[in-house]
Amino acid sequence: MKKISIFGSTGSIGVNTLNVIDNLNNNGFNAEIVYLSSNSNFDILTGQINKYKPKGVIINNKESYEKLKSLNFSNTEILFGEDGLLEVASRDDYDILVSALVGFAGLLPTIEAIKKGKRIALANKETLVTGGKIIMDLIKKSGAELLPIDSEHSAILQCIVGENSKEISKLIITASGGPFRKLEKNKFKDVTVDDALNHPNWKMGKKITIDSATLMNKGLEVIEAKWLFDINPENIEVLIHPQSIIHSMVEFTDGSVKSQMGVPDMKIPIQYAITYPERIHSDFERMDYKNLKDLTFEEPDFDKFECLKLAFDSLVSGGTYPVVLNAANEIAVELFLNSKVKFIEIPGIIKNSLDNHKNLTNFEVSDILTIDKITRKQILDKF
């Protein structure tokens, strides 16, 4: 029996995770949902409580919290907000935490789960982007496991299992290129929210979809890969692969390259993170190789997609620059989604925050929290 908690259970990753667990249980895997959390989606969370009957749920919206409490779920504890997430993450009565919270909110609950020595199936990029060294040091001390859910990092993990890490020469992370791969940069000023949310290959939440449109998503993945796989930034490459069939590649010192292929479906890397190192039968869609007409690759345009360059620069500069990068990006995306800034303004907002940051090379979690808060406030004060 594997007891599983899902933080962010009503979002795209969370819903897919529950589908994966249903499939696993239908194929002989024994998993129980013990905790669920949602930011504010009362209706979906209520349905999940009724279906899975978890020991507890956490919701971050006060009104929804009061409504859930009034329903008197006899066997489900109702908790509220960040305190509820931290309380549940620090408990002993689960084995795996699927961390699918959106943005910086995932950092502290993930740290609590690491301290308890849990397996963390990580979909929250921001945890490693902002606290990479701290997170990896904690994992070494606690014996916790960190397994990526991102399709790109899952692909890299699958390629290097059984390999000597010293023989890896390059990680090649693929990107679809998003909805604006062929759009001229001078037309970015006319991009609408609906345009940016219209991803050609993947169905994801709003924030990550905008990040995919700016290629910041790929920049965050580069930073994440550095920490997950202990590799220097100069040995990480991004390639545009519009078909989203090859999810990443690993080049070895002898010139050999391994790639992981699959349909663009998040359920596959989610299941791998839960069942690792085993592979269990699934009923998910399979590749139809007869219909694969082209697998093409392009270099990313760093001038057109400035966010990707800002992410690489932040990683090379190190210290707390990635904290600022992440905070500024989250606020810039939020402003764009609320139609307060234009799509083309997003990288400029991030660059301004980075330019005004005084870097710290030795820092604690408290420093991360402070810098994150200050960065957000400085941007919001201007808008």
- In this structure, the answer to whether residues 267 and 249 fall within a common structural domain is yes
- In this structure, the answer to whether residues 56 and 197 fall within a common structural domain is no
Does the pLDDT at position 203 exceed 80? no
In the structure, what pLDDT confidence band is assigned to residue 283 with cuts at 50, 70 and 90? confident
- In this structure, the answer to whether residues 33 and 142 fall within a common structural domain is yes
pLDDT digits (tens, 9 = 90+) for 111-141: 999 999 999 999 998 899 999 999 999 999 9
Q: Given the structure tokens 């609950």, which residue do they identify?
A: 109
- Short-list 216, 205, 225, CA closest to 180: 216
* Confidence (pLDDT) at 74: 86
- In this structure, the answer to whether residues 134 and 68 fall within a common structural domain is yes
In this prediction, residues 6-17 reach a mean pLDDT of 95
- In this structure, the answer to whether residues 181 and 299 fall within a common structural domain is yes
| Global confidence as pTM | 0.93
The span from the CA of 251 to the CA of 169, in Å, is: 6
Does the pLDDT at position 202 exceed 80? no
- In this structure, the answer to whether residues 119 and 232 fall within a common structural domain is no
Q: Is residue 341 part of a domain?
A: no
- In this structure, the answer to whether residues 223 and 144 fall within a common structural domain is no
Does the pLDDT at position 208 exceed 90? no
Number of domains the chain is built from: 2
pLDDT digits (tens, 9 = 90+) for 218-273: 999 999 999 999 999 999 999 999 999 999 999 999 999 999 999 989 999 999 99
In the structure, what pLDDT confidence band is assigned to residue 205 with cuts at 50, 70 and 90? confident
Q: Is residue 373 part of a domain?
A: no
Q: Is residue 379 part of a domain?
A: no
Helix 42-52 to helix 62-70 angle (10° resolution) is 40
Q: Given the structure tokens 């007891």, which residue do they identify?
A: 3
- In this structure, the answer to whether residues 123 and 245 fall within a common structural domain is no
In the structure, what pLDDT confidence band is assigned to residue 204 with cuts at 50, 70 and 90? confident
In the structure, what pLDDT confidence band is assigned to residue 291 with cuts at 50, 70 and 90? confident
Q: Is residue 347 part of a domain?
A: no
- In this structure, the answer to whether residues 83 and 136 fall within a common structural domain is yes
Q: Is residue 112 part of a domain?
A: yes
In the structure, what pLDDT confidence band is assigned to residue 290 with cuts at 50, 70 and 90? confident
Task: Report CA torsion sign: 203, 204, 207, 211.
Answer: negative
Name 172's bridge partners.
237, 249
Q: Is residue 323 part of a domain?
A: no
* Confidence (pLDDT) at 259: 97
Does the pLDDT at position 201 exceed 80? no
pLDDT digits (tens, 9 = 90+) for 323-380: 999 999 999 999 999 999 999 999 999 999 999 999 999 999 999 999 999 999 999 9
pLDDT digits (tens, 9 = 90+) for 18-62: 999 999 999 889 999 999 999 989 999 999 999 999 999 999 999
Burial environment of residue 149 by CB neighbours within 10 A (0 to 12, 13 to 18, 19 or more): buried
Query: Which value, in Å, is the radius of gyration of the alpha carbons in the chain?
Result: 20
pLDDT digits (tens, 9 = 90+) for 131-167: 999 999 999 999 999 999 999 999 999 999 999 999 9
- In this structure, the answer to whether residues 163 and 296 fall within a common structural domain is yes
Longest dimension (CA), the chain: 63
**Per-residue tokens: 259:** 């790639």
In percent, the amount of the chain with pLDDT more than 90 equals: 89
The span from the CA of 344 to the CA of 8, in Å, is: 29
* Confidence (pLDDT) at 221: 96
* Confidence (pLDDT) at 28: 87
Domain boundary among 110, 126, 148: 148
- Mean pLDDT for the chain overall: 95
Domain boundary among 286, 317, 348: 317
Q: Residue 251: in which H helix or E strand, if any? A: strand 246-252
In this prediction, residues 95-123 reach a mean pLDDT of 95
Question: Which positions ≥6 away from 204 have C-beta within 8 Å?
Answer: 12, 212
Domain boundary among 297, 317, 337: 317
Q: Is residue 43 part of a domain?
A: yes
- In this structure, the answer to whether residues 144 and 157 fall within a common structural domain is no
- In this structure, the answer to whether residues 196 and 294 fall within a common structural domain is yes
Does the pLDDT at position 217 exceed 90? yes
Domain range for 40 is 2-148
Tell me, what CATH number does 35's domain have?
3.40.50.720
In the structure, what pLDDT confidence band is assigned to residue 200 with cuts at 50, 70 and 90? confident
Contact by Cβ (8 Å): 125, 224: yes
Using CA atoms, how far residue 143 sits from 113, 114, 148, 275, 377, in Å, is 11, 8, 16, 18, 36
* Confidence (pLDDT) at 65: 95
Task: Report CA torsion sign: 148, 234, 180, 284.
Answer: negative
Contact by Cβ (8 Å): 237, 169: no
Q: Given the structure tokens 């991004």, which residue do they identify?
A: 238
Q: Is residue 369 part of a domain?
A: no
